[in-house]
Amino acid sequence: MVNDAVLKNATETAWTVYRARHPDVGPQDSRRCLLERHLQMRGEERESDTEELAGFGIAYLDRLPQDEC
């Protein structure tokens, strides 16, 4: 299981990278909540480090349909 600090850092990193690539996405966009839940589940499946989880998060956000968020 991943600790809270790693999860928080991974979420912040993934969200920052995603928003830099998509400037039209606001800081409180619903995708952030989806990202947090996704990374929480990934962290529960196996132990990961911040960079690995952030990479999973970025890939997840890139797969989300833009019109459903």
Q: What is the number of structural domains in the chain?
A: 1
User: pTM of the entire structure?
Assistant: 0.85
Full pLDDT tens readout for the chain, 69 residues: 678 899 999 999 999 999 999 999 999 999 999 999 999 988 777 777 899 999 999 999 999 987 655
What's the confidence (pLDDT) of residue 68?
58
* Angle, vertex CA 8, rays to CA 6 and CA 11, nearest 5: 105
The residue segments making up the domain with residue 36 are: 4-68
Residue 52's pLDDT is 92
Tokens of 58: 């970025």
